[in-house]
Structure 1
């Protein structure tokens, strides 16, 4: 049973204070839950909307202990959190950590993540661990080229991923990802899909399956519902639920999938936190992914994951050639467009391709299921809005 509310209410400590921490803070306030974030960047993006920020590294033991001492629950919004430290603090202080540190430990190493999925019978692309160029060339003899080389640890949002076109590039590609690596066989996919799932106390729920558009390994747009046949979408939901059953701990999980040319579903990667491809839920679903995460990790019942309307989310990325103070121009059209919503992440500086915000566009006039033609039009309108804003001062 959920405990009664009072003021001040319960406090959720979050390791990480970037844009996800900011949106968690925006979602937690109406629930009577206060946030404290731990982040190394003073005045981090989350700081204007949360009760307090502890300035410290994600693996700073003193800072994590202070966070636990001031919180009733702990979670994280970045995979760079230290699972061993979180596990130790949870054991010693009794402050629950969700998702579990062991889940974070599994997710942090892409090879361990893939092995866990395979052991559970969940389909993934073919892959191999590669410790040196000779092993990479041997794997390419089996997989063919192109293929994808991934850093096992530290990579997210496309960082640490490098396509390889020829065995002759083995040394340079391994140098570019740096550290222990793995290689995945190229997937001839029809679409990249994502399912945002959530685990509560004895509950599992999934949002409508989205379709992701990536360029240069960075998410550009998410279209919901995905423009895929219903049997493919059902298979995606089924695989996502299998993933959720495997994960330990309450919270939101972003599950990225490939729909192959043969209409099979393969798991690409999992994020044990709210995910960029779930930002559409703020306007497009009854209960957004951020509120669901706060509900889940604090032991509250989950909200409805029902989709309100067909929705497209477009990322606002840095369109500059070098780092400069962030100043976004061309916003009048966004503000004057009905059912368009701007989300600004509050980052002080813009860098090339840095995620600075997003725009969501919903269409109440479109059938709830959304025909492919209608969604194509909604996507085109969304791109026009996104392409009309710029950080370029010229």
Structure 2
């Protein structure tokens, strides 16, 4: 039986970016407090979290302090160190969810793909590459283009480089600058994602979203996706199989390809709330952030039904050089019925940095096409420059 007291439980979060900020916003109505650890003083989560420990993501002393102040530890960024988390958890008795073993699997994309393929989860053809000749051999076998991926350190599209021809192989490897793998390029109908929560003996999945990327950066999410029901059912099945492989409670962002012949292939997994799930704050009965709070605490999961068709569009900094963050001309967004503005509180705008997002939910019989057109117009009406 779950009992609420004051003060309530405390979740310690490694990372204090926008995901930590939205976790704290979702935790407060449940009587749950957050302490975040982040190297950036006054990080985006700081204004809404209980407290911030200023320390690097792998700072063992800082994480030990975080564990001492928390009932459970989690993370909102893959740069958390699984070995440090494992040691601290064992010494302190403070559990970590998702488990450090899951973070270890996720950290190396080659290990991740091998483990998932071994579990029978459909993935694109892939292989380890150590030099440009290996990339060229992959092009011979898979055809061009192929996707070269940094095995470690990349997330949210970072470290992914499309290789259009053999002539580009060497430069692509140099840009990745470390251990790499290559995947066959998928001829997809659409990119979709399932936000799935793994609780204490239960799972819950949100309606499937359709994602639009440009230059490997997520720009838009449309819910419901344009997939037919048979395909969405396959996506849910793959997501459930992925959760069987992952160890520990929490929300997982599961990115998928829907192929032109209606099959589903796994792209990547994020063991945390995901950019493609931000729409859930306004568009679903519960948000991915509330679900993560509930899951890591071992509380019952909430309903995930769609409230109304919803689109989400990222606000990316349209600057050429770093500068103080200031978003000009937000009045139109604030005045638009059904529009919701989320500002992440980052102090510096950098080229294409995610600074916030805008969500639009349908009012009446509005279509997702109409919502998306409106969202694009709203985002186009604002700027981070004063020119």
Cα distance in 2 for residues equivalent to 1:299 and 1:238: 23
Give the structure 2 partner of residue 169 of structure 1: 168
1:116-150 deviation line (CA, Å, top 9, x unaligned): 11011000111110011121111111111111100
Residue in 1 that maps onto 2:127: 128
Deviation (angstroms), 1:228: 1.4
Query: Tell me, what secondary structure is at the counterpart of 1:235?
Result: helix
Tell me, in whole angstroms, the C-alpha distance in 2 between the residues paired with 1:192 and 1:216. 14
The CA deviation at 1:167 is 1.1
**RMSD of aligned alpha carbons:** 0.8
Matched, 1:184 2:183: yes
Give the TM-score of the pair, scaled to structure 1.
0.97
Give the 3-state SS of the residue equivalent to 1:47 in structure 2.
coil
- Cα drift, residue 85 of structure 1: 0.8
1:253 corresponding residue in structure 2: 252
CA distance in 1, matches of 2:249, 2:168: 42
Structure 1 residue 224: deviation in Å? 0.2
Report deviation, 1:201.
Answer: 0.2
TM-superposition CA deviations, 1:246-287 (whole Å, max 9, x none): 111000000000000111000000000000000000000111
Residue 286 of structure 1 is matched in structure 2 by 285
1:71 matched to which residue of 2?
70
CA separation in 1, counterparts of 2:5 and 2:262?
50
CA distance in 1, matches of 2:114, 2:83: 20
Please give the secondary structure, in 1, of the residue aligned with 2:83. helix
Note the C-alpha offset of 1:82: 0.4
Q: Which stretch of structure 1 is more off in the superposition, 230-239 or 272-281?
A: 230-239
Shift of 1:366: 2.7
Partner of 1:360: 359
In structure 1, the residue corresponding to 2:47 is in which secondary structure?
helix
Hey, what's the Cα distance between the residues in 1 that align with 2:282 and 2:68?
34
| Number of aligned residues | 387
Runs of 5+ consecutive residues of structure 1 not aligned to the other structure: 368-373
Separation in 2, partners of 1:136, 1:65: 42
The SS at the match of 1:17 is: coil
Q: How much has 1:354 moved relative to structure 2? A: 0.1
Structure 2 partner of 1:307: 306
Name the CA distance, whole Å, in 1 between partners of 2:127 and 2:23.
Answer: 36
Match of 1:371 in 2: none
Matches within 5 A, 1:1-394: 1-2=1-2, 4-366=3-365, 374-394=367-387
Partners of 1:196 and 1:275 within 8 A in 2:
yes
User: Post-superposition, which runs of at least 4 consecutive aligned residues in structure 1 deviate over 6 A?
Assistant: none
Secondary structure, aligned partner of 1:358 = strand
Question: What is the SS of the residue equivalent to 1:112?
Answer: helix
- Please list the CA deviations of residues 2-48 of structure 1 after superposition, one character each: whole Å capped at 9, or x if unmatched: 2x222211110000000000000000011111100000000000000
Deviation of the 1:166 alpha carbon? 1.2
* 1:148-187 residue CA offsets vs partner (Å, 9 max, x unmatched): 1000000011110111011122111001011000001010
Q: Which moved more, 1:193-202 or 1:168-177?
A: 168-177
Q: Cα deviation per residue 1:264-313 (whole Å; 9 max; x = unaligned)?
A: 00000000000000000000011100000000001111000111000000
